Structure 1
Amino acid sequence: MENYWFLDEQAQSLGYNYFKSDQRVLVRVNVPCKYLGPLVLKAFSNHPKFWDVITLEDDPRVPQLLWDEYENLDWKNILSGQVIANSYCVRKGLSRKAQLSMFLSKYIRKHPNCALSKAVPPTIVVDLWDAFDSSLAELGISFRNRLESCLWEVKLLFEDKSKQAKYIMKPSASNKGAEVNVFDTYEKFKGIISEWTDIREWVVQSYVERPLLLKKRKFHVRVYVVAVSSLQVYVYQNVLLLTSLDPYNPSDTDNKLSHITNTFQQQDHPNFVEADCVLLLEDMESILSNDRNIPLSEAKSIISKMMKDIGVITGEVFDAYKGEFSVFQPLPNCFEVYGVDFLIDEDFQVWLLEVNPGPDFKQTGKRLQPVIQTLVNGMVSIVTDTFFSKPAASYPSFERMNDGILHSMAEADSALVRMNECLETVLKECLIEGTGTESDFVAKTKNAMDTATELSKQLAACLEAEKHKRGHDKVKLKLLQKGFINSMKQLQEAQRIYARRHEAVIEYDLIKTACISTDDLKKAKEERDMALEIAEDAVQVNKAVVAVGKLVQEQTATITQIK
């Protein structure tokens, strides 16, 4: 456990055991929002034989579950695994737009063919801390020069005067569409930066130039995602479509009401009509049919594919934070709902915009409040089953994502079988006589090798988690551990054979395509081996020098002491 968590209290929470009892379970509900609060209470009332709800602050009973604002939660008991809570403690990697961009970029570099690689607009993180650093001012560096040094990446975007492009800028830590601006000149960007001097970090993204329009308005898709324990991800299928207030005008970047689709920014405008700006997914079918003359059957297929893409992208977003515990810690005794925003372009490609912990549900409005009630009902059912019973195979209106986590020994058994099958595939291809092209070899083996490696990580995590559960089957766990150890030995052998075979295939490709002769290849390998020997000798020499230096220091100290 010490390999995964940074605080002792968090390590203790990994040992959290699901509460199983015939007694009723206490939940303390304190939701200040008048829109959401009654919905939460009603959702718990749907389980009258299971839950007792505490709403009074002076109630002496100790709850097993807390549903409260983030700032009010009892984090000491949550981190020690004593109580379940409706929020993760550390999730700034998702909520801060700059960190979201950095960690998704890191994931994309590792998985260049993932869905996220085509779903995240090109992004620049603008860090202004140096511009306002007083120590640099003391060195005689002017504010103007300090600011320019922070903005150089954005300035480069406008060096080619022949290209006309728009960008959207957002403060890294803001929400509800605050201070979001569209700009098409460096001067406008710099002016906005200079106006908001209290904001130290921005993200600048390429503007999606051809957004799909509904009734001539730009819109974004709001998807609610429920993350449970560490980590199951459920995507709520009743999504919202939030439109701009004014018709879309790409040439007028100063009219925010034409470009910004956040309802919070529109609600006080005299022209705001909730029914026009807050729509449901099913509304999209008829609008596509009317606006673009698309048959209803085709519109349904488009929406179905869009939801599938959204599910895959969402799964990869959470997958990107595996092991990134400094910015996202999915504690096993916590759960949380996120508002994830997407944009759709005219080619029906899905673009990820941002992830919002603690979304503002009241922006949904009264007309569609039943949609949020269904969401909260589903959350309570998922939480009830996950922490106090057994998760169901499915939940109405929710789609469970492939979270890459093995939740039971039965799932681990199946994963071990798949891992061994993948290793057999790799070894079979590696041991075939003859040499094909590198592309053929990679096509036949890489996916199986990557899958086996990923399954080994999932199995290791599952075995660690099962070991800390009370009442686990020790015999089954021991057999599973034994099988896993044997498979890991096979994986190591397969990796060694795979590397040698891959090298041989590359050499054959080079010789066959006359890129290099056999003699030159042999000579290059000899030079490489010689360089490795020299490097190894250098390491040994360096160790000897360090040892001699240490001995000299000791002898010098001894002589000094004698004197």
Structure 2
Amino acid sequence: MAAPDSNTTDNKIYALINYEDPYVQPLILAALQKRLPESSYKIITSVSQLPSPSSPLLQWVQYESIDFDHLLSNPSTTLSNAYIIRKALIRKHYLSTTIANWITKYPDSVLKRHVKPSVEFEVDYAEFLDDALVEAWELKEAWGRNESQEDEKKKEWWILKPGMSERGQGIRLFSSEEELVGIFEEWDPESDDEDEEEEDADARSDAGGGIGSTGERKAEKEEGNGIITSQLRHFIAQPYIHPPLLLSPPSPTPTPSSPSPLRKFHIRTYILATSALQVYIYRPMLALFAARPYVPPWDDVLQTDRDEAMRAHLTNTCLQESGDREGSVGLFWSLPDSLPAQPDLGSVKLESKPDWKDKVFEQIKSTTGATFEAAARGMSIHFQPLPNSFEIFGLDFMVGIEPNGQLNTYLLEVNAFPDFRQTGEELSGMIEGLFEGVVNRGVLPFFGVEAKGGEREDGMVKVLDIDLGRR
């Protein structure tokens, strides 16, 4: 860890805190107030307010607002809340490559068990899908097996994810080539005139052509179903996790004649990566539930009303209406110790043990550490941790049920600048605790400041500590 330059006359930390989010901003300020001695720092509103370029500076702002020139010019005195380059983690198609390369090099890696293999492809329009899937052998083999399978329940289902989308946008389910083609036809432009219009816009854009750069017009056209088509060009397809572990949401609304319906959920885990490179998991975690009771992917509703059916499969609360969001977010460690009977397991018997959450957490820890190491060592061009930076990531995990009845936890994705508002007002104390842990582990050591009130338990669990040789 670096320390403030000894030639600096002013050792006060100048803190530029502007997260541009009314939910997050006061929680960051409260965490600083709790952990930093009052005399050790001063809030500023601009880098221009520094007494000198070498004055100790903490930048905790949105990524686009970070003064990276100042950060790189003052590596021993300036700390920022984001790494410059981290595509190897936060872009789904890059993450897929990161993990595939790591497993090839280390076949015994835990990632082989806890990340579904992916098929990557690029496509602009549905008419080019055949060309894009020329080498998608896994998909074609699955489709072939499905054609000879009369039992719908035994067909292999896949989940399609746009590589650069956020908040669950553009996610679809499919089990055949026809269904995949139908998905892309939904996103195709409506007319040749629109094609020409978009090509003209592309020519004036730095982003490139096709779906990946058609701009705000298409985003507005598709806004109703949560798809931003300007982000749809790179895709991954993965085997769908079925059956997932199903539980009742935190605030169910059962009817007098029936028990609480079981729903699909995922676990949101907050991760602190600091310097080059230590990684911590924040032990308090969230359980985010789908808006509707679970139905299997082969249910008829997926064919008749795709948007409604996906509400049972998508657990990202950003896509839910305000009424659906109520009761959809809870604390992972408050989930029941004993698991309810699960549907669609056939002859499989679920192993329900009181310590199932501890086992899931152990899997999350090992998978997280391996993922960040794979990105740092195997994709160093696309993930470059800096000694004078830290960053909070949101990792999403889903618990599936294996054929032997045991639980297995899968990494879904890695999010930069996660949406903390999903936590809600009632659980905002959890996020403030996260920020206190970030200050303890990411801020105080860099500036060489002792924590206000001394050391205390902060819920941060270290899962990776490697030296990448960056100073």
TM bucket, shorter chain = 0.7 to 0.9
Write out per-residue CA displacement over residues 176-198 of structure 1, whole angstroms, 9 at most, x where no aligned residue.
01111112232221121233352
Deviation (angstroms), 1:394: 8.3
Instruction: For 1:183-262, list aligned pairs within 5 A.
Output: 183-197=174-188, 198=211, 199-215=232-248, 216-250=262-296, 251-252=298-299, 253=302, 254=306, 255-262=309-316
1:45 maps to 33
Q: Which moved more, 1:29-38 or 1:379-388?
A: 379-388
2:148 corresponds to 1:162:
yes
Deviation (angstroms), 1:381: 1.5
**Structure-2 separation of matches of 1:401 and 1:220:** 21
Partner of 1:349, secondary structure, is strand
**Could you tell me which of 401, 422, 432 is aligned with 2:463?**
401
TM-score norm. by structure 1 comes to 0.62
Matched AA of 2:70:
N
Partner of 1:18, secondary structure, is coil
Matched AA of 1:220:
H
Matched AA of 1:316:
A
1:285 maps to 336
Write out per-residue CA displacement over residues 98-135 of structure 1, whole angstroms, 9 at most, x where no aligned residue.
1100110110111111111101112101212xx56xxx
2:372 corresponds to 1:318:
yes
2:15 maps to 27
Deviation (angstroms), 1:44: 1.1
Deviation (angstroms), 1:319: 0.8
Write out per-residue CA displacement over residues 320-379 of structure 1, whole angstroms, 9 at most, x where no aligned residue.
023422100001111000000101013221111000011011111111111111101111
**Could you tell me which of 114, 117, 133 is aligned with 1:151?**
133
**Residues 194, 391 of structure 1: alpha-carbon distance in 2 compared, 3 angstrom cutoff:** farther
**Residues 273, 103 of structure 1: alpha-carbon distance in 2 compared, 3 angstrom cutoff:** closer
Deviation (angstroms), 1:300: 4.4
RMSD: 2.5
**Structure-1 separation of matches of 2:328 and 2:445:** 36
**Could you tell me which of 379, 385, 388 is aligned with 1:330?**
385
**Could you tell me which of 53, 58, 63 is aligned with 1:65?**
58
Partner of 2:394, secondary structure, is strand
TM-score norm. by structure 2 comes to 0.74
Identity, in percent, stands at: 32
2:152 corresponds to 1:101:
no
Deviation (angstroms), 1:256: 0.8
Relative contact order higher in (CA < 8 Å, ≥ 6 apart): 2
**Residues 17, 273 of structure 1: alpha-carbon distance in 2 compared, 3 angstrom cutoff:** closer
Partner of 1:233, secondary structure, is strand
2:73 maps to 80
**Residues 315, 98 of structure 1: alpha-carbon distance in 2 compared, 3 angstrom cutoff:** same
**Structure-1 separation of matches of 2:457 and 2:44:** 26
Deviation (angstroms), 1:20: 6.5
**Structure-2 separation of matches of 1:382 and 1:43:** 12
Partner of 1:321, secondary structure, is helix
Partner of 1:44, secondary structure, is helix
CA contact (8 A) 1:94 1:100 kept: yes
**Residues 312, 301 of structure 1: alpha-carbon distance in 2 compared, 3 angstrom cutoff:** same
**Structure-1 separation of matches of 2:265 and 2:417:** 21
Write out per-residue CA displacement over residues 24-71 of structure 1, whole angstroms, 9 at most, x where no aligned residue.
211101111111011111111122232212236874556511011111
Q: Which moved more, 1:346-355 or 1:21-30?
A: 21-30
**Residues 243, 300 of structure 1: alpha-carbon distance in 2 compared, 3 angstrom cutoff:** same
Write out per-residue CA displacement over residues 491-520 of structure 1, whole angstroms, 9 at most, x where no aligned residue.
xxxxxxxxxxxxxxxxxxxxxxxxxxxxxx
When you count helix as a share of all residues, which structure comes out higher? Answer: 1
Deviation (angstroms), 1:239: 0.5
2:394 corresponds to 1:343:
no
Matched AA of 2:275:
S
**Residues 299, 81 of structure 1: alpha-carbon distance in 2 compared, 3 angstrom cutoff:** farther
Deviation (angstroms), 1:223: 0.3
CA contact (8 A) 2:376 2:385 kept: no
CA contact (8 A) 1:214 1:291 kept: no
Q: Which moved more, 1:105-114 or 1:21-30?
A: 21-30
Matched AA of 1:338:
F
Q: Which runs of 5+ in 1 are unaligned?
A: 1-15, 133-142, 293-297, 406-460, 469-563
**Residues 390, 305 of structure 1: alpha-carbon distance in 2 compared, 3 angstrom cutoff:** farther
**Structure-2 separation of matches of 1:57 and 1:226:** 25
Deviation (angstroms), 1:165: 1.4
Partner of 1:382, secondary structure, is helix
Write out per-residue CA displacement over residues 429-470 of structure 1, whole angstroms, 9 at most, x where no aligned residue.
xxxxxxxxxxxxxxxxxxxxxxxxxxxxxxxx6xx66xx6xx
When you count strand as a share of all residues, which structure comes out higher? Answer: 2
Instruction: For 1:95-494, list aligned pairs within 5 A.
Output: 95-128=90-123, 144=127, 146-152=128-134, 153=136, 154-160=139-145, 161-163=147-149, 164-197=155-188, 198=211, 199-215=232-248, 216-250=262-296, 251-252=298-299, 253=302, 254=306, 255-268=309-322, 270=323, 272-274=324-326, 276-286=327-337, 288-289=338-339, 299-323=353-377, 324-346=379-401, 347-389=406-448, 395-405=457-467
Q: Which runs of 5+ in 2 are unaligned?
A: 150-154, 189-210, 212-231, 249-261, 343-351
**Structure-2 separation of matches of 1:52 and 1:313:** 38
Partner of 1:385, secondary structure, is helix
Deviation (angstroms), 1:395: 4.8
Partner of 1:387, secondary structure, is helix
**Residues 402, 156 of structure 1: alpha-carbon distance in 2 compared, 3 angstrom cutoff:** same
Matched AA of 1:303:
K
2:220 maps to none
1:550 maps to none
**Structure-2 separation of matches of 1:20 and 1:308:** 40
Deviation (angstroms), 1:305: 1.4
**Structure-1 separation of matches of 2:86 and 2:65:** 16
State the structure with more CA Rg.
1
2:89 corresponds to 1:89:
no
CA contact (8 A) 1:108 1:114 kept: yes
Partner of 1:258, secondary structure, is coil
Deviation (angstroms), 1:317: 0.3
**Structure-2 separation of matches of 1:218 and 1:374:** 27
